[in-house]
Structure 1
Amino acid sequence: MLYAVVADKLDKWLWIGYGLIIMEGITLLVFKFFCPLTILARKYSNSTKDNFDIYLPNWLAKYTKLIYSGIVAIILLIIIYRLLD
């Protein structure tokens, strides 16, 4: 999505990507900001770490929602700029 807005390729794939992000946001709201697969995986693990179910360092796994939300916000700002230009 970032490539699409930087390269000014605002096509259907960009909007499909935003649709998927909106669907993911709704899913996170329904499951109280936890991925449903994480909830399922917690049944099979005693670990309370943020990275117990993914191969990322704990410091990175702890902030993935914040990092990706920031990237999506930056993409949205660039899209607004492109559409108003």
Structure 2
Amino acid sequence: MDRDRMALMAVKSFHTLAWFLIEACMVYLVYAGIRGRTDRRAGVAASVVAGETLIFAAYGFHCPLTAVARKLGDETGSVTDIYLPKWFARNLPAIHVPLILLAVALHRRNFLAARARGQTVLLTGRAAR
């Protein structure tokens, strides 16, 4: 196997791991929001998701690894084509954006409910008076 092909496999593997981490954070945000847990872990997960979203937006709503994949010989520049099903990879933004909106709505609800009870939600996850 030549060097560019191995590097392309490494880029695609890295992308798959990064995608899994980001989506795990997204799932945790939705779960924590449903359970009323707006805490430090939710803040860390939100930071990961927000960082990924900002990077994606800064690159014109394309993965920044696309250019790297093209330079390494992938005709399409796709970094998801061998590790995620094509239909899923093609629809990631359409799946991800509603989840972000749901998580924001759930955590907003949690903050407003805590405020209505006269509590301050601390980053530890406990409510303080």
5+ long unaligned stretches in structure 1: none
Once superposed, what is the RMSD of the aligned Cα atoms? 2.0
1: CA distance, partners of 2:54 / 2:33? 24
Equivalent pairs counted in the alignment come to 84
Alpha carbons of 1:19 and 1:50: their partners in 2 closer, same or farther (altered >3 Å)? closer
Structure (1 or 2) with the larger CA radius of gyration: 2
Aligned identity (percent) is 24
2: CA distance, partners of 1:4 / 1:41? 35
SS of equivalent to 2:109? helix
5+ long unaligned stretches in structure 2: 1-28, 114-129
Q: Report the AA paired with residue 75 of structure 2.
A: N
- 8 Å contact kept, 2:66–2:78: no
Displacement over 4 Å in runs of 4+: 48-51
Aligned match of 1:60 = 88
SS of equivalent to 1:32? coil
Question: Scaled by the length of structure 2, what TM-score is found?
Answer: 0.56
Deviation (angstroms), 1:49:
6.4
Alpha carbons of 1:18 and 1:72: their partners in 2 closer, same or farther (altered >3 Å)? same
